Amino acid sequence: MKRIGVLTSGGDAPGMNAAIRAVVRVAHTQGVEVVGIRRGYAGMIEGEFQPLGPRDVANIIQRGGTILLTARSKAFMTREGRAQAAAHLKNAGIDGLVVIGGDGTFHGAIKLIKEHQIPVVGVPGTIDNDLYGTDYTIGFDTAVNTALEAIDRIRDTAASHGRVFFIEVMGRDAGFIALDVGIAGGAEIIALPEISVSPQEIAEVITRSAEKGKQSSIVVVAEGAYPGGAEALMRAVAELTGLEGRVTVLGHIQRGGSPTAKDRVLASRLGGAAAEALIGGASGVMLGEVEGEVALTPLHEAVGNRKDIRRELYELARVLAV
């Protein structure tokens, strides 16, 4: 390969810039040019390409978001849109792609490979940590630490006012952020999409805690854990207990900010490995980290298999909340 492209797609995640930097600099050491594709697949359709050399990616490892920008493209979901994108790649002399993103990004990559035989390698960049084939995704650790800082501050207010706070964290239909934040933040209850918990069960825990002398409680709620989210769950529990509750939805604050050291190292490792794999002839795979080692997983497995939470951690959280 003489020239490869790199893009970020879907939701931004802290550490994406570190991955871009690694792709560019590792490819450069092998004499391969890198072209940055702006705004993900939307930019690919429009031909928004820019050359990236080692100096173009200087001083970005500490920055959140993505210097290449990101977008979701309805046009790329069509066969015609993908054909237009592939034509732009061919005209630009791009021999293969490194795509950084989550499951939607990888679904698009699979179709590009199948329909146009363009070599593509994926790098898992999503705060949700829901991709099979890697223990951690880029951005997850930063999101957890951002949410944890917020929860620590909210606990001060909860204790001061003797209230129950329901704190909603991101993760779509996966509870990885909620579980780690709940344990690290000492939450009394963690509500996850993977493990059903009813308002009645939560009410019982809060009531028992109050009887033991606890004047405040923290309930961490993954955004997909209950219909209507943390607000609806709080109202249901309040009807059963009569206790005063408050809701805080952390929202997109979890996606921004400077990446942690762990995310910078992970992104650098996987971005560099992805460039090497693509240049070496790999395609249709995601580069992940499993038990400390770089692992290749077929893209269709990465998006097709359900990655489960560590259920022993959930049981530990229940014990520690006594």
The residues annotated as belonging to the active site are: 128
Q: Order of strands, edge to edge, in the sheet holding 164-169?
A: 189-191, 217-222, 164-169, 245-249
Q: Is 234 annotated as a binding residue?
A: no
Is 126 known to sit in a ligand binding site? yes
Is residue 295 part of an annotated ligand binding site?
no
- Residue 1 annotated as binding? no
Contact 154, 239 (CB under 8 A): no
What is the phi-psi region of residue 34: left when phi exceeds 0, alpha when psi lies from -120 to 50, beta otherwise? beta
How far is residue 43 from each of residues 5, 89, 257, 321, 322, measured CA to CA in Å?
12, 11, 24, 48, 52
The reply to whether 241 sits in an annotated binding site is no
Determine whether the annotation assigns residue 256 to a binding site: no
In the numeric block, the tokens 């209507």 are attached to 228
Say if residue 105 carries a ligand binding annotation: yes
Query: How many Å apart are CA 102 and CA 257, to the nearest integer?
Result: 19
Closest CA to 48 of 56, 61, 39: 39
Q: Any binding-site annotation on 15? A: no
Is 26 marked as a binding-site residue? Answer: no
**Angle, vertex CA 48, rays to CA 50 and CA 124, nearest 5:** 80
Q: Does the annotation list 12 as a binding residue? A: no
CA distances from 153 to 150, 160, 248 (A): 5, 11, 12
Residue 284, marked binder:
no
Q: Which residues are annotated as a binding site?
A: 11, 21-25, 72-73, 102-105, 126-128, 155, 163, 170-172, 186-188, 212, 214-216, 223, 246, 252-255
Q: Which residues are annotated as a binding site for Mg(2+)?
A: 103
Q: Which residues are annotated as a binding site for substrate?
A: 126-128, 163, 170-172, 223, 246, 252-255
Q: Which residues are annotated as a binding site for ATP?
A: 11, 72-73, 102-105
